Chain A
Amino acid sequence: MFILLAMPVVQIIIFGFALTNEVKNTAIAVWDQAGDPAAVSLIAEMEASRYFEIDKAVSSREELDKVFRLGKIKMALVLPARFGSDLGHFNKASVQLIADASDPNVANTLTGYAAAVIGDYQVRITQERRQPYTIKPEIKMLYNPELRGAYNFVPGVMAMVLLLVCTMMTAITIVRERETGTMEIMLVSPARPLRIIMAKAVPYFLLSVVNITSILLLSVYVLDVPIKGSLLLLLGESFLFTLVSLSLGLLISTRVASQQTALFISLVGLLLPTVMLSGFMFPIENMPLPLRTVSRVVPARWYYNIVRAVMIKGAGLATVWKETLILTGMLLFFMTVAIRSFKIRLA
Chain B
Amino acid sequence: MSETVRRKGKVGYLLLAPAALWLVLFFVIPFYSLVATSLFDQGGSDFRGYQMTYAFGNYVDVVQEYAGPFGRSLLYGAIATAFCLVLGYVLAYAIAFKAGRWKNLMLVLVIAPFFTSFLVRTLSWKLILADDGFIVNTLQTLQVLGDDGRLLATPIAVVAGLTYNFLPFMVLPLYASIDKIDHRLIEASSDLYANPFVGFFKVTWPLSLPGVVSGTLLTFIPAVGDYINAQFLGSTNERVIGNVIQAQFTDANNYPVASALSVLLMVLILAMVLVYVRRAGTEDLL
A joins B in a complex: no
> Which A positions have Cβ atoms within 8 angstroms of B?
none
> Which B positions have Cβ atoms within 8 angstroms of A?
none
